[in-house]
Structure 1
Amino acid sequence: MKKYIKHKIRKAKKMLGFTLAESIVTLGIVSFALVSGASILTIALKTSATARAKTAAIGIANEFMELYRNLPYDQIGTTAGWPAGSIPSNQNISRSGLTFTVTTRVDYMDDPFDGNAAGTIVGKPRDTAPNDYKRAEIKILSGSKTLTSLTTIISPRGLESAPNTGSLLLKVFDAAGQPVPEATVQIANSTTIPVVNITNTTDIDGNLSVLSLPPSLQSYRISVAKSGYTTDGTENPNGNGYTPLKTDLSIMANEVTEASFTIDRKSALTVKTINQQCQTISNKAFRLKSKKLRGNNPDTLKYTGDHDTGQNGRVTIGDLEWDKYDLNLTGGNDDIAGKNPSVIDLPAGVSQELTLVLAPHSPHSLLITVNDANTVLPLTDATVTVSRTGDDPATLITGRGFFIQSDWSGGNNQAMLANPDQYWSKDQNIDDATTAGILTLSKSTENFGYEESFSAIDRQDIGATTAVWDGSGIISLPQNGGLYESQAAAQTIKINSTDGWIAGATADATQNLNDGTIRYLLSSDGGLNFEPVNLSEPREFALRGSDLRLRVELETPDNLLTPTIDTVSVNYDVESYQTPGVLESSTFDTGGSSAFQGIQWDPANQIAETGTDSVKFQIAANNDNSAWNFKGPDNTADTYYSISGMTLGNLFDNSRYIRYRAILSAEDRRYSPTLSSVAIGYTSGCTPPGQVFFSDLRNDSYLVEITKTGYIPYSTMVDVQSQTEQIIPLTPEP
């Protein structure tokens, strides 16, 4: 019974079918077989079609070749080539349901057996009739693919043909003097009969020989080109307004004309414009000019192009020939303060980037590049001093950028430096506007009062007083023998207690004239110059000083009477500079991690009255343009950079952003220190190496002196006119 049950179970399982895994494997095998079969079938069909096309192409080539062999010799040539003939250069043929393109090229051949046209075969004469035979080449193409090609030699029956013709031997090479194969050469002459219009290519050695050309004087126009290459060629010798360096060629009977042409891969130049803070400047127009000439009388450049850096401050100029180029700004609002590289020397087949560092325009400026005389590489850390009779010398160091500010009249609230005449903040004690380009302390006017009751004599100028001023509270004429003297005066010493310039004053008095007269006078310069005043009327001093004094003059016509004064009050205005004053600059972005060398300012020395360290600075730098911790040379907020030209050490190195804080002060408030410019030196990735830029110069001759450790000092005179550039080589010490 158990055996029967097991048998039934096995039979039932067999009737259930395949499992899922078995089904997947089976489907995979079947799919692989179908795909493989389809691929094999596709390949077979393609192979069959290619074979059928090649078979048809070979048949067409043989058919045309046989046709050419049976043509008269003078008809073996192409309708658009040289030698001229009846054979189309290109034609379409349909065979077996396929369309083919047939191209034909025919050339004269110079057999070396009797010498060649150039006369370069040793032991052979120069062949004056080098057109010994013709070579015909047929190519059969399907689309752009060449299926087959045939070449045959066809000789004339009898002697060499086409007497009284000339030959043209052309050589095409690149910038390095290497031959350029497969360069396309066009030869055209509309003055001959028949008209010559030949298109051919150079061989593996960059040569092209064209034989049996009809003679013609300066009328063969040659154009040489190749895909991705520059072009070269000849020009009409007349009617250009200049004399071309390469004029159209002449062909003389039984003579050989040789010419060479130079082409090479095209290059590209990308020009970008930034300011001295490494920020992009948009829409800067410039003119790019080549050094190579295409003609003279007058000199005519091969390339002149006007360009603009556009909204992104960047433009790429393609299809340029290898050459050295000059670049000039055409906008008029900027000067080139630096170039990297300093010279535009464009090799063949490269893409080169040129960075122009621009500065606000000044009528006359000087850009100096210092190079090693041997390697011609730019030299960093060379000291360049420019001087002119009557002016203070200016010194800069090559390879260092400078954050320079010489005007603050644009106002505050500029976080990032964009406008060179603005800054971040200042307090009320800084004056940025009264004198353009000069920073000073703010001037204020305050009113003060003085009252003299004559009840004391502590303010009496004894040496200048003749009236009675005895502390009794009244001024009167002195008596002599019981009679009053006819006139007398009383004068004070300095009555103002605040330093500053006395701008004006108003006097009032309690007086009794008693038929006499009283005159009131005030002096702002310590009694050197008294000016009369009317009571209650303001008086502005013609000569301002800082020592205010009062003088009264009494006079009587009656010796029995005296005028008297009980009190005198003087209200006066004092002008003085508010001290100290603080200004914080905008953020200067060097464009990347930088090293900061030093800080200098002008004028470096202040007048003595302002006191010691009346102009001083602190510096703050960071990489987040956020945290500004100003400090001095000991790396704390308690010290200051107080001497122009002080180095910054390495306290702020490896930072990108920097600000300065200027502190102006005055010990004598009658005087203010002045600041006309401040500069912080740095080096970064966008600082042109080996260069310095001097602006705001005069149209004059300047002495340029250059020193660098390990090099022989150099000096020269440079005539500065408009935007002048000078490259100066330094010779290493022996």
Structure 2
Amino acid sequence: MRIINKMQKIKHKTKISFNKGFTIIEALVVLSIFSIILVTFYSTFTLGTRYIIDAKNRLGAISLANQKMEIVRNLQYDDIGTLTGVPQGVLDDDYYENVNAVSYHVKTDISFIDDVFDGTEGADVVATDYKTVRISILWGDEAASRQVFLLSDFVPPGIETNIGGGTLRVNVIDTPANGLSDVAVNISSASNGINISTSTDSSGTVLRPGMPAGDDYVISVSKENYESITTLPLSPDSDYDPVADQNASIIEGSLNIKSIIIDLLADINITAEDFFGNPIPNISFNLNGGRLVGNNISEGMPGSLEYNYNEDLSTDSSGEINIDNVSPGFYVFTLPDEIEGYEFYEMIPNDDIDSDTFVVDPGSDIDVKAILLDESFDSLFVSVSDISSGTAIEGAKVHLTNNLLGYDISLIADKFGKVYFPQDETPLVKDSYELSVSADGFNDNNSTISIDGLNMSYIQLTPQ
């Protein structure tokens, strides 16, 4: 009996001890809840701290902008200007200043304003009616959310006077002639000691009265996701004549207009394939095109057209290559002379005029195929052209036969005057074949050709 009672007590104690503990699942649940609370608190704390720091930096930027504007207000009217700007004055236009361990980027843009009250752009004898001052303060990554600016106008004491010079109007547009706002514009003239950085207004225009006369005004324009352009002088001051984007000139007392076209950048994805769609890896090639720079006469007249993209490239192991952020325009694909094993056939798509040329539209992401012919594959390429003009003969009938092999196939030449035998992945049999080419208005051409690898035949037809 005593033994039984003792066992019952032990059992009872064991049961009580078990009920006072936590299971592993309960512990994991508590730990998970605690982790979620901790992460949420940390994220909120971090975000709040960042907002506090940004607000503090913004207040510091506003205070600094007010200080700089107060300095301008205490200057004589004739001194209100930048060291390398128009109007010229005593202020620095671009520098950094540290305030409370924060580096602020200070930009000062001062320009003359031609007020509409007394006429503008030629109707007003004095185009330099008053000055407007814009002081911008940027910090951090200088994004739109991390900058402030102040604007203020300053009028001359007494009657306005003509300081001379001409008015420069820069229009920045895209190909459809839409004005582009917020384009960064730099205007410089070495002969006049001018270097102005500004941006276009809502209509894509920069208007600068009072610019000293000169013919060496270099204008650079840039905007995110758009082409960046810098004008160039004519020969002999450059290698180009003519130049697509020529430097601006200022004529005394005149309105001088300079229009610059920039378009959205594009991406090109090129795949090298054989005639049957099989990828070809590690193909070297040259790609030339994009925006026209000018006619390069560095090696003498008549010169050659030069574009802003000219690169030697190579496809990867999958036969592909991606080229990002290039100017829109015409591009030419060229295989180097030293490449072995392949001949060029055509680009898909192409510009309908040249088989090696394709068009890239502004802002597009275009997929292009470079079709190449394998020199080791028993096949026949035929090009048909007019012997008198050299132009391709579209629609020419190309007839290939071998009576012993029972081969009898006719193909119609494409817009480039080309055909290719065979039309599937079964190679031609190594042998001699009869080739007959005919076209309306031309005399027929008959010849015997041999197939052993790729045969490249160029047939010229004589007009009747």
* TM-score, normalising length: structure 1: 0.46
- Output one character per residue of 1:101-152: Cα deviation in whole Å (capped at 9) or x when no partner: 33322222221101112x5xxxxxx123212111112233331353532211
Change (3 A) 1:169 1:291: closer
Measure how far apart 1:54 and its partner are.
3.5
Contact 1:286 1:331 in 2 (8 A): no
The 1:97/1:354 distance shift into structure 2, 3 A limit, reads: closer
Deviation, 1:310, is 4.5
455, 458, 464: which one pairs with 1:697?
458
Q: Sort the Cα spacing of 1:678 and 1:262 in 2 relative to 1 into closer, same or farther, 3 A.
A: same
Residue by residue, what CA displacement relative to the aligned partner does 1:423-465 show, whole Å, maximum 9, x if unpaired?
8xxxxxxxxxxxxx537xxxxxxxxxxxxxxxxxxxxxxxxxx
Q: Which residue is equivalent to 1:227?
A: 224
- 2:106 is equivalent to residue 345 of structure 1: no
Please name the residue that 1:438 is paired with. 431
Equivalent in the alignment of 1:396: 411
Q: Which amino acid aligns with 1:20?
A: F
Q: Distance in 2 between matches of 1:169 and 1:339?
A: 42
Q: Is the 8 A contact 1:272 1:309 kept in 2?
A: no
Secondary structure at the residue paired with 1:352? strand
Q: Which amino acid aligns with 1:108?
A: F
Q: Return the letter of the residue paired with 2:224.
A: S
How many residues are paired up?
Answer: 395
Q: CA deviation at 1:402?
A: 3.6
Change over 3 Å in CA distance of 1:336–1:57 after alignment to 2 = closer
Q: Distance in 1 between matches of 2:380 and 2:19?
A: 99
Q: Relative to 1, partners in 2 of residues 1:276 and 1:44: Cα closer, same or farther, differing over 3 Å?
A: closer
Flag structure 2 segments of 5+ consecutive residues without an equivalent: 1-14, 352-357, 386-393, 400-407, 437-447
C-alpha displacement at 1:320, in angstroms?
Answer: 3.4
- How do 1:581-620 and structure 2 match up within 5 A? 602=434
Instruction: Name the CA distance, whole Å, in 2 between partners of 1:273 and 1:26.
Output: 58
- Shift in Å, 1:209: 0.8
Per the alignment, do residues 694 and 83 of structure 1 end up closer, same or farther by CA in structure 2, a change over 3 Å counting?
farther
Distance 2:323 2:228 in 1: 17
The offset of 1:347, in angstroms, is 0.5
Task: Letter of the 2:94 partner, please give it.
Answer: N
Q: Specify which of 370, 373, 378 is matched with residue 359 of structure 1.
A: 373
- 1:144: which partner in 2? 141
Structure with bigger gyration radius: 1
1:66 aligns with 2:70: yes
| CA distance, structure 2, for counterparts of residue 15 and residue 306 of structure 1 | 80
Higher relative contact order (CA 8 A, sep 6+): 1
Higher helix proportion, which one? 2
Residues 512-553 of structure 1 deviation map (CA, whole Å, 9 limit, x = unaligned): xxxxxxxxxxxxxxxxxxxxxxxxxxxxxxxxxxxxxxxxxx
Matches of 1:230 and 1:132, distance apart in 2:
34
Are residues 701 and 94 of structure 1, via their aligned partners in 2, closer, same or farther at CA, if it must alter by over 3 Å? same
d(CA) in 1 for partners of 2:42, 2:235: 69
Amino acid at match of 2:198: N
1:265 aligns with 2:264: yes
Q: In the alignment, which residue of structure 1 is the partner of 2:178? A: 178
**Counterparts of 2:320 and 2:157, CA distance in 1:** 66
- In the alignment, the residues of structure 1 paired with residue 40 and residue 85 of structure 2 have an alpha-carbon distance, to the nearest angstrom, of 51
State how far apart, in whole Å, the 2-side matches of 1:285 and 1:34 are: 56
Given that 1:189 and 1:220 are in contact with CA atoms closer than 8 Å, whether structure 2 keeps it comes out as yes
> Are the counterparts in 2 of residues 172 and 262 from structure 1 also a CA contact under 8 Å?
yes
Identity of aligned pairs, percent? 23
Structure 1 residues 71 and 323: CA distance shift in structure 2, 3 A: same
Judged with a 3 Å threshold, the aligned counterparts in structure 2 of structure 1 residues 386 and 30 are, in CA distance, closer, same or farther, namely closer
1:207 aligned onto 2:205: yes
Q: Does 1:298 align with 2:335?
A: no
Alignment of 1:481-500 (within 5 A): none
* TM-superposed deviation, 1:154: 1.2
Q: Secondary structure at the match of 1:128?
A: coil
2:240–2:294: 8 Å Cα contact kept in structure 1? no
Question: Partners of 2:43 and 2:311 in 1: how far apart?
Answer: 58
Is the 1:385–1:394 Cα contact (8 Å) retained in structure 2?
no
Instruction: Rate the CA distance shift 1:283–1:93 in 2: closer, same or farther, 3 A.
Output: closer
Q: Name the structure 2 match of 1:84.
A: 88
1:307 counterpart residue number:
312
Q: CA deviation at 1:40?
A: 6.6
Matched residue type, 1:131:
T
Q: Amino acid of the residue matched to residue 110 of structure 1?
A: D
**Is the 2:166–2:254 contact (alpha carbons within 8 Å) kept by the matching residues of 1?**
yes
Residue 166 of structure 1 corresponds to 166
2:120: which partner in 1? 116
Paired residues for 1:439-478 under 5 Å: none
Residue 224 (structure 1) shift: 2.2
TM-score by length of structure 2 reads: 0.69
Structure 1 unaligned runs (5+)?
A: 1-12, 120-125, 369-381, 388-392, 406-415, 424-436, 440-600, 605-673, 680-692, 704-716, 718-734
Determine if contact 2:291/2:327 at 8 Å carries over to the other structure: no
